[in-house]
Chain A
Amino acid sequence: MDFLVTHAPILIVALPLVAAFVIPLIGIGRAGDRGRNIFSLVILGLIVFLVAILAENVHAVGIRVYTFGATAPELALPHGYMVPVRIIFEVDSMSIFMGIIVTTVALAALIYSLHFMKGQTGQARFYSLMFLLYAAMMGLAFTGDMFNLFVFLEIASIAGAGLAAYRTNMADAVEGGFKYIVISAISALLVLFAIGILYAQYNVLNIAALAYYMQYTPLDMLALGLLAGAFVIKLAGAPLHMWAPDTYTVAPAGSTPMILAASYMSMYALYRVTFTMYGGQIDTTAIGWIVIIVGVLSMFIGVMMAVHQTDIKRMMAYHAISQGGYMLLGVGVGLAVLADPVALANYGRDAMNGGIFHIINHVFYKSLLFMTAEAIFFRIGTRDTNKMGGLARNMKWTTAFYVIGALAISGIPPFNGFASKLLIYETVLKFSPVLSVIAMFVSLVTLASFAKVFYAAFTGPELPAFREVREVPKSMIIGMSILAACIIFLGLFPGLVVDNIVAPATDALINHTAYVNAVMGAVP
């Protein structure tokens, strides 16, 4: 057990990689489809167990460092060295928070995809790509090294683009995947350029070592601008959000929640660079206001474009952009008052709690909504709300899950959206009342657009074309109910979640010297 906890960071990343390359071999052999499904579920169950014990260990003990190739896992700085020279994984509370989100979504998405993919060709590639995307996201969460961040970012982009363009017999799927890979390639090359600038000045690639040796020269400002710009493009923040509606609409089955989670891993990378690597040296008020402005633009543009959509998944994709603005608003307020201890203790810390809590809430209810939209597409073959009607008679479970998701995204109690949105409204009101009013208005328009789609698609008389539509298969219902159960649990006990998972993550972001000291130790 001790062995598993010590080596958990690398096992969580290495096991899905091994599984991704074993799955084509199983497909060729005699085991076939059933063997591949059972193998995937076993590996994912093992990984869920490993993430649970690692989370418990990080919250009890502290930051966990894992060095590759050294003589002991924690030996980041061997005797006589001034800088860490090996690749390290550094797991703190914010990393394991994102890890918990991604693992839950991956479990639900994999169970959902088991029946959806029957009858498609190239199934082995779908499961391999899902495992590769999962391994890349966990590597992005755990890494302590800038170049490793670039490599895992690119692996996630390639796997995500392959999944988005999976249905090559439809023209719009290929277009969505093409836009995703072009945007990801350009932003990853900008990240590499910034890493080159940082390496040229300080000769280290480690995040903790860079934070230790950083003097804020104009070249470092250029690097911060490039990194922040590239990560804002990847997380679909306005005004650079053009790729997101196309890509989220066309991805099949359970891969839309995974590509959505990959965007929020870029948000995690943005926070890691801004709070930890440049921590204590940047002008937090200016950068905080830039983050707030990007957040407010995302909220407003996202919801205004979503209201008049007729394609159900495209509407949900625009709402994903808008809710991303809520998270940026919460954390931006916290960043803007980071230098002022009174305001930080008063409302800054709670604003960051709200923003980070909103990440887990949003990923859960948006994944559930995407899965219900794909379930409708699975049964009736179209995503156009003008052609739907009266589906509630035959698809009772799908309707119930859609109602849960729609109420959660609008911030209605007792679902989880209410808790995080209330935190954001209260704290942003103390910071600047205008922003809070805009946030509440956006929430109202969100509720209006989801109600419109509910009346169009689910209620009303039964159309003759849909008379023999039945409910979706059991594996898809189980996948959706995992997320629905998490939504209800988070809504009923928000205090429990905020105290145990979210507040340590906020502390880890605000307190950047702990991250540096875990690696650099007692170097004078």
Chain B
Amino acid sequence: MENIAHNFPFVASALLMGVAFYIILFKKNLIKLIMGIGMLSSGVNLFIVALGYRTGGNVPIYTDVPEGLMVLSVPQALTLTSIVINVAVLALMLTMVIHTYRHTGDIDSEKSRKLKG
């Protein structure tokens, strides 16, 4: 029981990534595909922030910590960079779906294909 309580962020991250892969592989609507990619990025970001935690650690904003451990601060910077990049990627994908809808009138990934073979 204690093991699951300590590792709960990693379990949640694995659940998010699993559901995201199911959506990306099996759903046909293009908007749902974009939501699946957003969910995958949430799972990976949660994993990276959670791995920096140290039990009983202090906030990493003092120059000289009073006593004991400090929580790692590099994963927070990595997660921030990843969130910014994923905002740009999601904006680009949404614009392309709007263009596809305008050209073909459909956002189903089977019916809006023009390149085959």
Contact = CB atoms under 8 A, between A and B. Distances in A.
Interface of A: 147, 151, 154, 157-158, 161-162, 165, 168, 171-172, 174-178, 181-182, 185-186, 188-189, 192-193, 195-196, 199-200, 203, 205, 245-246, 249-250, 309, 314
B70 interface: no
A171 B104 contact: yes
A162 B96 CA distance: 10
The 9 closest A-B pairs by CB, nearest first: A171-B103, A178-B96, A200-B51, A174-B99, A172-B114, A196-B48, A246-B115, A154-B85, A185-B89
Interface stretch (B1-9, B57-65, B75-83): B75-83
Interface of B: 17, 24, 30, 33, 37, 40-41, 44, 47-48, 51, 72, 74-75, 78, 81-82, 85-86, 88-89, 92-93, 96-97, 99-100, 103-104, 112-115, 117
8 contacts: A175-B112, A182-B33, A185-B89, A189-B44, A192-B48, A199-B75, A199-B78, A249-B115
Contact of B115 (A165, A172, A192, A195): A172
Contacts of B112: 175
A504 B100 CA distance: 47
A168 B102 CA distance: 10
Interface secondary structure of A, over-half rule? helix
Given A158-B89, A174-B99, A178-B100, A199 B44 contact: no
Given A147-B78, A171-B114, A178 B93 contact: yes
B15 to A, nearest CB: 14
Contacts of B37: 182, 185-186, 189
A162 B24 CA distance: 22
Given A174-B100, A189-B37, 6 more contacts: A158-B92, A162-B92, A172-B114, A175-B114, A186-B37, A189-B40
Nearest to B17: A193
A422 B74 CA distance: 49
Contact of A189 (B30, B41, B72, B117): B41
A205 B48 CA distance: 13
Given A176-B115, A196-B47, A199-B51, A181 B96 contact: yes
Nearest to A172: B114
Contacts of A205: 74
A181 B97 CA distance: 12
A270 B117 CA distance: 29
B42 to A, nearest CB: 10
B89 A154 contact: yes
Contacts of B89: 154, 157-158, 181, 185
Nearest to A151: B81
A188 B81 CA distance: 13
B40 A178 contact: no
Contacts of A168: 99
A226 to B, nearest CB: 11
